[in-house]
Amino acid sequence: MTDSHQTAVSDDVSIPANATLYAAVEFILTWHLPWQTGVKARITATEPISGGCIHTAERIDTTVGTFFLKSNDGAFLPNFKAEAQGLTLLAKSGTLRTPHVVKAVGTEEYSFLLMEYIERSDDDERTPTFWEDFGRNVAALHHRNNKAFGLVNDNFIGALPQQNHYHKEWREFFIEERLEPMIRRALDTGQLGENAGKRFERLFPLLDDYFSDEPPALLHGDLWSGNYLADEHGNAVLVDPAVYYGHREAEIAFMHLFGGFDARLFDAYNEVFPLFPDWQDRIATYNLYPLLVHVNLFGRSYWSGVEATLRKFGV
């Protein structure tokens, strides 16, 4: 039973009942920082940060440091908890920097993810070997392997649920955990018609023996140009992950979808962790998934890329 003066907010955190969002942040900073011992934390300034399309983002200056706050209504706590888990998993890989997570917290009225604030460098302040180091570190991330494709928990890509049930074979995972859920959603919402679903049914048998044989690799899962930044030292930082253990070619393909990554990154990656010679032939197939995500999020303007790939397979 919860104390009448407390509001349960997650598995291991309770905040004072009727606390405002900022009061809850101060409570977490007072009692849930490793270097804090109950000395009252106080917010001294807040600054909105642009760029997010789902959550409110703010820089929070406090008496115990500067932090990054993402907030939304209470229904988004699962999203924030999944993001916290993903950032923590990436951090444990010891490869690329990610923001340190303080807590993911929520009530019926609001939820938030509180984490380290990282000062950004401008493009001209990046290290001279920014892209090469980035590529080698992505390769190191992809060397973190698992016994099966998937993840212990489901998570989100953007605002959409992303299911991660384990599979031994990549083809099965790609079809059952990536393509089929997005196709069903698009059919249910009317973004796609019945004929589109039938075309995918004809595609799936053509993917037998199609993918290169690779072990499950730890992936960021949503690695486009908006989900990395350069920190105060000019080095790459990963944010907003949708992590799972997948085929590393899927990550490389996604990084090509919208651009924003220098060729030096891919050259350095390939030097330390060579891809199969024909990997580029499969880029469009892997990108069926992020394109279907975008169809569901933003509409049929993203269908043309899907259409081109389906036609390539003759379905």
| Environment class of 146 (CB within 10 Å of its CB; exposed 0-12, middle 13-18, buried 19+) | middle
CATH for 123-312 (3.40.50.300, 3.90.1200.10, 3.30.70.20, 3.30.930.10): 3.90.1200.10
Comparing CA positions, the residue from 312, 303, 313 lying closest to residue 196 is 303
Residue 7 has pLDDT above 50, yes or no: no
Q: What is the CA radius of gyration of the chain?
A: 21
Q: Residue 245's closest CA among 160, 158, 167, 135?
A: 167
By percentage, how much of the chain surpasses pLDDT 90?
88
Confidence of residue 123 (pLDDT cuts 50, 70, 90): confident
User: 277-307, pLDDT tens digit by residue?
Assistant: 999 999 999 999 999 999 999 999 999 999 9
Domain ranges of the chain: 6-116, 123-312
* pLDDT band of 12, cuts 50, 70, 90: low
Contact 135, 251 (CB under 8 A): no
Phi, psi of 217 (to 5 degrees): -115, 145
* Residues counted in the chain: 315
Any idea which fold 6-116 has? Phosphorylase Kinase; domain 1 (3.30.200)
Residue 73 pLDDT more than 60? Answer: yes
Residues acting as catalytic residues: 222
Determine phi and psi for 16, rounding to 5 degrees. Answer: -60, 140
With a cut of 70, say whether residue 37 has pLDDT above it.
no
Average pLDDT of the segment spanning 306-314: 97
pLDDT-wise least confident of 42-56, 87-101, 198-212, 219-233: 42-56
